[in-house]
Structures are given as structure tokens and as C-alpha cells.
Amino acid sequence: MANLKEIRTRITSVNSTMQITSAMKMVSAAKLKRAQDAITRMRPYAEKLQEILSNVSSSLDGNEGQYSHQREVKNVLIVAITSNRGLCGGFNNNVQKEIRTMLRGPLSGKNVKILSLGKKAFDNFKRTPHHTTDGFAATPYTIYDKLNFENVGEIAQVIMKQFASGKYDQVFLVYNKFKNAAVQILMNEQYLPVVKPAITGTTKTDYIFEPEKDQIIQELIPRSLKIQLFKALLDSNAAEHGARMTAMHKATDNAGELVKELKLNYNKARQAAITGEILEIVAGSEALNG
């Protein structure tokens, strides 16, 4: 059994760690509220815009534009959306594992590049042949320093331009979707080309177009793509804070349990030390009397 000094040192160390994890949990909870409000406001608009776009584009004749052009898939871009910081459980690792599964599976044999929007993905893939920042800022993960629609729109515009030019034949978004503070859903979405909805036989919504439908589509698709990427980043941002809050909550609880166990061991060691001293005194007294 460890001596009393060692146990006291460990108790102090664990208490300090528990204070840090507890503080990080409270900070994440405060950030989560703002991030959750942002994605909650954005999601209905993005989903409704996507629904309108799907309904309208499904009636076109196949010449709906450069962002819907289907080509033989040879060059693929994966946009990996992670966080800039760790201590959030399996949040970042899940995205990275999904991408590795894609590389070994459906994208095996294709020329795949990975754009990292998040320092954790950047650090993980920067030494691989798949890493790319071509056409983007040297460190695109700095998008989190000022996460707004304008900055995200610039990244989306570059991706759309590269797809339209034929540099990439397919683009995927891999990220964590926010469900609640404890649950994040791993998403693997095709970003480009824009996919027409499957015909289900349901009643199709009719629209009155002003100006012409083709012109509206040419303006609506780029805006919808920018909003889709912005929503993915907002989802990931909220999911990150939820994952970190949950991880720090568990870490705090575990630290509390460890402190209880250490205190129990400390009391046992202290009791054993006191009992040993009493026995020595009694033995010494009997030796003097004898």
C-alpha cells in the first residue's frame, strides 16, 4: 500500500484535475447554448430551401447546370469537418474513421483529396497524400475563428468552382450532426453533384416562376450549396460543444469517484500506521515492565 504522503499527493492532483474538468464543462455548456441556438435557427431555412430546390430541379430536362453534371467518378474531394480542439470524446475520431473507411471501401482506387475544416483533421491528414489546401487558405480550419455565412460562402465558392472546372467529379461532406447535448450523428453527405430527388409518386408542388425557372435554378443552387456547407459547420460546432460538455461531465464524475477511493485508501493507511505505532508502544512498555 502506498504511503500517506503519496496518497495525499494523488488526492491533491486529482482534485485539481476535477476543478479543471468541471470548469471546462461549464464553459462548454455556455458555448453550447449559443451554438445550439444558431443551428436551430438555420436548420428550418436550409431544409426548406433544399426542398424547394429538389422540387424545382426534378422537373428539368437534365441540363440544369454545372453543379448537377454527372461525370465518371475519378477525382473526389472529401470535406472533413472536425473541431480545432480535443477533449471531446470520440467526436473527431469518428469523422477520421469514417473517411478512412471511405478510402478503403467505395473510394478505393480513385484519386481522393481531403480538405480539412478543423485543426484535428488537418493534423491527422496533412502528412498523407490525400491532404489538400489547393485554392484555399493555407490553414482553412481558421474558419472557426470567425464562423459566419460570408466566410463559409468563400470556401463553398472555391469548391463549386473546382467541381465545375472538372477538377473533382464528386464532393462529400463528413461531419457530426447535432441532435442533443449527449448525442451526435455522424453524417456522410454527397455535396456535389446536386442529386435530383427520387420520384416517389407523391403530388408535386407547382410554383409560379418569376423570372424564368432556369434562371432561378442557376441562382438558387449556388446559394443552397453555400447554406448546406454553413449548416454542416454550425451542426459540427454545436455537436462539438455537446460532446465536450458530456466528456468533461464524465471526467468530473470519474475524478470524484477516484478521490473517494483515494481517501478511503488514505484512511486505511493512516489507521494501519496508528495501529502499528500503538502496538510498538505497548510492546515497548511490556519490555520495560518485564
Give 243-271 pLDDT, tens digit per residue.
999 999 999 999 999 999 999 999 988 88
Indicate whether 227 and 261 sit together in one domain.
no
Here the cell at position 156 is 463553398
Q: How far apart are CA 196 and CA 182, in angstroms?
A: 33
Last residue of a domain, one of 246, 261, 277: 246
Give the domain CATH number at 215: 3.40.1380.10
Are residue 164 and residue 218 in the same domain, yes or no?
yes
CATH number of the domain residue 276 falls in: 1.10.287.80
* pLDDT recorded at residue 2: 61
Higher pLDDT: 66 or 71? It is 71
Residue 121 has pLDDT above 90, yes or no: yes
The model's pLDDT over 183-204, given as tens digits with 9 standing for 90+, comes to 999 999 999 988 765 555 555 5
Residues 42 and 138 in one domain: yes
pLDDT tens digits, one per residue of 126-185 = 999 999 988 887 677 788 888 999 999 999 999 999 999 999 999 999 999 999 988 999
The pLDDT > 70 percentage for the chain reads: 90
Find all residues with CB under 8 Å of 147, minimum gap 6, and list them: 233, 234, 237
The pLDDT value given to residue 173: 97
Same domain, 200 and 274: no
Tell me, yes or no, whether 200 and 282 share the same domain.
no
Residues with active-site annotation: 88
198 membership: H or E segment, kind and range? none
Residues 278 and 139 in one domain: no
For the residues 3-20, what does the mean pLDDT come to? 91
Counting the structural domains of the chain, the total is 2
Both 63 and 200 in a single domain?
A: yes
Q: What is the pTM of this model?
A: 0.85
The pLDDT value given to residue 179: 92
Range of the domain at 262: 4-24+249-289
As a whole number of angstroms, the distance between CA 116 and CA 131 comes to 8
In a shared domain, residues 264 and 158:
no
CA 45 to chain centroid, in Å, comes to 22
How close are the terminal C-alpha atoms of the chain, in Å? 34
Predicted confidence (pLDDT) per residue in 220-246, tens digit: 888 989 999 999 999 999 999 999 999
Same domain? 210 vs 91: yes
In this structure, the strands spanning 170-180 and 75-81 are: parallel
For the stretch 41-46, contacts whose Cβ atoms lie closer than 8 Å and that sit 24 or more positions apart, written own/partner, are: 42/227, 42/230, 42/231, 42/234, 43/231, 45/227, 46/227, 46/228, 46/230, 46/231
Q: Indicate whether 63 pLDDT > 50.
A: no
In order of 90, 182, 242, 268, the CA distances from 26 in angstroms are 20, 15, 11, 35
CB-side neighbour CA atoms (13 Å) of 37: 5
Mean pLDDT along residues 77-88: 94
**Whether 105 and 119 share a structural domain:** yes
Q: What's the confidence (pLDDT) of residue 226? A: 93
Residues 201 and 138 in one domain: yes
133 and 263 within one domain: no
Choose between 51 and 77: higher pLDDT: 77
If you average pLDDT over residues 7-25, what whole number do you get? Answer: 93
Host H or E run for residue 88: none
